[in-house]
Amino acid sequence: MDTIRPFITGSGLWKPANTISNDELVHSYNAWVEQNLALFGDKPPFSNSEFIEKASGIKSRYVIEKDGILDTNRMRPSLTERPDDDISLQAEMAIEAAKDALCAANKLPNQIDAVIVSSSYTQRPYPAIAIEVQHALGIEGFAFDMQVACSSGTFGLHRAYEMVKAGTANSVLVISPELTSPQVNFTDRDSHFIFGDVATAMVVENSKAITSPLHTFEMISVRAATQFSNNIRSNFGYTARACDTDPFSPQALFHQNGRKVFKEVCPMAADHLENHVASNGLKTSDIKRWWLHQANINMNQLIIRRLLGKNADQLTAPIILDQFANIASAGSLVAFNLYHQDMQPNDLGVICSFGAGYSIGSLLLKKI
């Protein structure tokens, strides 16, 4: 019996039409601080674009809705609630990325067996966004949502890899529609600039199901690790109603202890990647491309120096933070989407995420 080999055969990316530059975001944030000086006493926490870029590498971000975020009387996106019979916003994002991935993989919806929507947030608990996407695209089989914070995308690809290896599906569509801006506290100096909105999609297939010869990558192996930490949290949830607490308080939105995250996650991610590569009989120098999680440019640079003993150029370890900001679990997948078509047969690459949990997921790929 032939061994079943999973491949990534198609990748898709969808971006909102709206962008917000650091200067725009800082202008509205500082104006909000001016309006609320009584909250801060003698030390109002003003921000500036230079601080943001130096601290994170971020220059701009895509957002699903712009005006509400820059409105000093609102400081959050202004979204319109859709009737239950209309396609949800997050499903709409997912579908656009999915269409690109299906096209790249030369696949029709009726050739897909399963849909996984893996993102750090889902718009609602149920029905699953994945099932809504499955229905809208006309895909048979089954679908489900899953969340592992900023490792949702890689963990979703792991599940697809395992399903194909087990023979429970021949072709799996994995989508990460990261609608993060509604969970950002745009009145918090330390985090108001971090996140953006985007959607990615990938098709994972059994080698016998492949119909597209272009830009195909064998999934050599996957590895995951989790370790509990309170240093990155988002406490928004339905129990706020029963606890009589404010469901939109700062504690309910994204918040983190950035210094501890940096100190603890960098060595954890570097060790994880070294061990994953070594477990396949390889050295880190054998890897042509590192598609790393896009949370902070300083984290990525430190991890790469640990792995390679030197700094890396844009092709070795692509950085997309300047355009996209942190896009949660989609970050490493956007890096892959934008920086994989030049890879040559037998070139090796690693996709890796690291985020809240803590959670780390990686995939070793080989270009076919």
Whether 352 is catalytic: no
Cα–Cα distance, 46 to 32 (Å, whole number): 10
Give every CB contact of residue 311 below 8 A, 6+ residues apart in sequence: 301, 304, 305
Angle at CA of residue 152, ends 97 and 54, nearest 5°: 85
Tokens encoding 53: 């870029």
Environment class of 77 (CB within 10 Å of its CB; exposed 0-12, middle 13-18, buried 19+): buried
Give every CB contact of residue 193 below 8 A, 6+ residues apart in sequence: 22, 25, 26, 47, 52, 56, 58, 61, 325
Alpha-carbon 191 to chain mean position: 17
As separate numbers, helices (DSSP H) first and strands (DSSP E) second, the chain gives 11, 13
**Torsion angle, alpha carbons of 236, 242, 246, 247, to 10:** 20
Tokens encoding 142: 């089954």
Alpha-carbon 41 to chain mean position: 37
DSSP secondary structure, 314-347, as one string: TTTS---HHHH-B-GGGHHHHHHHHS-TTPPTT-
- In the set 150, 243, 266, 352, the catalytic residue is 150
Cα–Cα distance, 69 to 111 (Å, whole number): 40
Tell how strand 6-14 and strand 217-226 pair up.
antiparallel
Asked if residues 101 and 10 have their Cβ atoms less than 8 Å apart, the reply is: yes
Residues catalogued as catalytic: 150
